[in-house]
Amino acid sequence: MVQFLLMNSGKAILRAALTFLVISLFLLQSCRPRITSIYPLSGPPGTLVHVTGVDLLGGLIKWDAGTSTERGIPGGFLTASFFTVPLNETAGPHQIRIQGLERLSDPVTFTVTTGHIRPPARIDDITVRNFTINRQGMASFYLLVHCANVDAGAQVEIDGVLHQGYLWRALSNEGNMQAAQPVTLGYPIFHYGTLLCPITNVRAGSMLHRIRVRNLDGEMSWNSDSFKVARNMKELDSDGDGLADAWETNGYDADGDGTVDVNLPALGADPLRKDIFVEVDWMPGRDPQPEVWGYSERLFANAPVLNSDGSNGINLHIDRGQRGAGGGGGSIIPYHYGLLLRAMACYPFDMPRVRTCGDFIALKRANFDSSRRRIYRYCIFGVDNANGSVSGEAEGSPANDFIVTIGTVTPTRVEIAFEQTHVFLHELGHTLGWYHGGNDGLMFKPNYNSIMSYRYNNEGVDTDCDPATESRIFDYSQGMRRVLDETCLDEPDGICDRRAIDWNRDGRADGRCIQANIDLETQNRILRDFPDWATLKYDFTIDTFWRRN
């Protein structure tokens, strides 16, 4: 019900919400809160605990309930659905109860352990909801600050002024750290959370500068961000996916003639959940296997990205000609051995035989509806890249055009599906703003655990702290691996979980400060992981290549 109320706006709705809350709190006087479970049951100070139960609305969480040290601690937004284990708390069992207006729940026990305490928060994204502009041009809205390792009860600092934040949604990440010992990671992410911060009467079109998050221990987030307030309702993009709310709600009129050209609502677009649209065509014999779509869509749907509706994940809409996709994709385009995307001339693939190259832009103009130009990325599955390499290529980073050209090197259908999937996701990643090293061009960093890295592009990301393992799992990085200094590498510590790695290949893995070139570059460097999911660039129109096609 709280989520329903948040989806509405305006003074009348606000009055109705307050009325509902007052009535609910009145009714709760005769209700006794009941905790059915907490998760996890144990953890170090700073652990975010999820609470499920009955009649938690308006409840206050009591820590060390019934003892001389009993005290109230912050919970979730309007409900006792989350709490953060107090910092500097002693190890051992602690009683938790929820205080209703008049009655207490039965106690449950949380056991505080020793262990790695979560690092400072990291701001990953900022979105809004319930956005309104009054006649004086002043905007009011809920600012949603999506963070890693944020506390329940954390504050939001905007231009040096602290505002109380309210933890609205949270997503556990412990199962995705890919390391049994978080202390061996550079930035372990135990959970993601969304802080809701009410903002009233700010000038529409203004900037909110230097936004930071202050956790309960007083530590500020290690990064800051800014946010541009929409100038009007027409340009409002609540979920920050580069698609205006008006488009996602009413459809997109490409030429301004009053007729909807791209019916985004019918295609499943949501103004409060991030959407990415891709159209795919292919040449004869280059048909993408069905596994490509299922794997890619699931990967994005389960992404550690929080939305303005409280959900996590991204809706990846791939139009490959299936029913309900809009009718643009799935075209069989003329066969060409090579595809000219960025190359200026056709590479001489086989001099004794004449091979032709197709101009990607010309093929796009013939097969892609221009009314989709601001909405869809476009991909062609072909044979080879005109620059002489196989695999694929993206026009830029970020960008809207890319190709998948795996040649004829994979004999079985299963292997073709595998190759097509990792190349499609790799090149799509370039259009979303990532390079081979995340934010740099270092292509073989072992601590950049992403399909964007050439080290993990072909055989999958590392899942056991051993970069030599072939996991056949494709993903983008969350930015958790520790920094590696090629002038002083610790072999017993490896990448994580203290799994030793023989960096200099001398048959031993016991060097405590050895020098080795582990990224196949020509000089020793400081190698850093990069948070792909937290830095995704949805709006490809900022790329200069977009304007030419």
Assess if residue 456 is contained within a domain: no
pLDDT at res. 385: 78
Q: Judge if 7 and 36 occupy the same domain.
A: yes
Backbone angles phi, psi at 25, to 5 degrees: -65, -35
Q: Judge if 286 and 361 occupy the same domain.
A: yes
Render each residue's pLDDT in the chain as its tens digit; 549 residues.
333 333 334 454 445 445 555 555 555 445 789 999 999 999 999 999 999 999 999 899 999 999 999 999 999 998 999 999 999 899 999 999 999 887 899 999 999 999 888 999 999 999 999 999 999 999 999 999 999 999 999 999 999 999 999 999 999 998 787 788 999 999 999 999 999 999 999 999 999 999 999 999 999 999 999 999 999 999 999 999 999 999 999 999 999 999 999 999 999 999 999 999 999 999 998 889 999 999 999 999 999 999 999 999 999 999 999 988 788 899 999 888 778 886 556 655 454 344 567 888 889 999 999 999 999 999 999 888 776 666 889 988 999 999 998 876 556 777 889 999 999 999 999 999 999 999 999 999 999 999 999 999 888 999 999 988 889 999 999 999 999 999 999 999 999 999 999 999 999 999 999 999 998 887 788 999 999 999 999 999 987 667 666
Backbone angles phi, psi at 458, to 5 degrees: -90, -35
The side-by-side arrangement of strands in the sheet containing 357-359 is 357-359, 338-340, 384-385
Integer Cα distance of 14 and 8 in angstroms: 8
The conformation of residue 332, written as its DSSP 8-state character, comes to B
Q: Judge if 387 and 296 occupy the same domain.
A: yes
Q: How many domains, the chain? A: 3
Query: Dihedral through CA 123, CA 129, CA 133, CA 139, nearest 10?
Result: -30
Nearest-5° angle of CA 72, CA 73, CA 76? 125
DSSP-derived pairing of the beta strands 42-43 and 108-112: parallel
Integer Cα distance of 213 and 134 in angstroms: 28
Strands (E), 472-533: 484-485, 526-527
The tokens for 524 are 């020793």
For residue 70, what are the domain limits? Answer: 2-112
Q: What is the CATH number of the domain that holds 72?
A: 2.60.40.10
Assess if residue 473 is contained within a domain: no
Q: Judge if 208 and 335 occupy the same domain.
A: no
Alpha helices in 432-495 (DSSP H): 454-457
Q: Judge if 326 and 410 occupy the same domain.
A: yes
Q: Judge if 301 and 364 occupy the same domain.
A: yes
Q: Judge if 37 and 142 occupy the same domain.
A: no
Q: Judge if 222 and 258 occupy the same domain.
A: no
Last residue of a domain, one of 70, 90, 112: 112
Judge if pTM exceeds 0.85: yes
Contact status, residue 378 vs residue 401, Cβ threshold 8 Å: yes
Last residue of a domain, one of 206, 236, 266: 236
- pLDDT tens digits for range 254-272: 999 999 999 999 999 999 9
Q: Judge if 7 and 99 occupy the same domain.
A: yes
Q: Judge if 36 and 57 occupy the same domain.
A: yes
